[in-house]
Chain A
Amino acid sequence: MPIIVAFIAGLLMSAGIAYSQMIDPNKVLGFLTLNANWDPSLILVMAAALAVYSSGYWLVIGKGKPVFAQSFSLPNKKELDKPLIIGALVFGAGWGLVGYCPGPALAAISSGSYGTLAFIAAMAAGWYISLQLTK
């Protein structure tokens, strides 16, 4: 499979994260911190991403199959279970603490910043813990 397409998909996403400044945790904290200097930029990032993705999604879904795969691999779980709710709350707490979610942190890896690298290492440890606990 031409994995160059997956590379381009990642490249576009992180270039978007960087161009919108969401790569900068202070920018994200400007949205998450509700005060007189509140910065709503993140809402417009989400809105534009949702507009592009949802129009494409509803155009292609149910019509044929992906270019490189036999079928769409989409989650079909419906129930709101405890791991989902606790996980989202725990993730949000970490996000609000420093202003990093997984995409921007990984996108900033080339900065070589010790803070960014430590965050990524701790995040990988968190992923490992979550896998052990859900086994």
Chain B
Amino acid sequence: MENFTPVEALIGGAMIGLGALILLVFYGRIAGISGIARSALFTRDGRSWRLAFLAGIVAGPILLGAILTDFSYSTPQLSWQVIVAGLLVGAGTGWGSGCTSGHGICGVSRLSPRSVTATVLFMLSGMLVATLLH
């Protein structure tokens, strides 16, 4: 477990939870990033708050990079795996009505049976594929 970063994980996780909570308290909305992005792209109603939220999502790492001197992260190489993975993640979160944020954080907090089921399934499926391939 040499890559374990518990302090950053706990602080970062609390920030994620707080951001999601702000959206609930002020807008009464679930902070599901896949659902918000999909609706912003393909639905006209309620586009302005969704676009503002997504602008925040894009701005977060830029801001962090300006504050922290040692902030960097890797990105995947362009490959057919990236395209296939993107299609699977898009179609899967579309059919399953959510991703790690909407189901995994908001839904599990609300003790929604659908979200608990989805979270267990995408965790297991992700672990199976990653462990077989990497």
Contacts and interface: CB of A to CB of B under 8 A. Distances in A.
Are A and B interaction partners? yes
Interface of A: 1, 3-27, 29-30, 32-35, 37-54, 56-57, 60-61, 65-69, 71-75, 77-80, 83-103, 105-111, 113-116, 118-131, 133-134
Contact of B57 (A14, A89, A113): A14
A111 to B, nearest CB: 5
Interface residues of B, number: 107
A103 B19 CA distance: 13
Contacts of B114: 75, 77-80, 84
Chain B interface mostly: helix
Contact of A33 (B2, B53, B103, B134): B134
Contacts of A83: 95-97
Nearest to B75: A113
A11 to B, nearest CB: 4
A37 B43 CA distance: 43
Given A5-B22, A29-B130, A46-B104, A87 B59 contact: no
Nearest to B121: A88
9 contacts: A9-B26, A39-B3, A57-B110, A68-B28, A80-B114, A90-B95, A124-B90, A126-B86, A127-B91
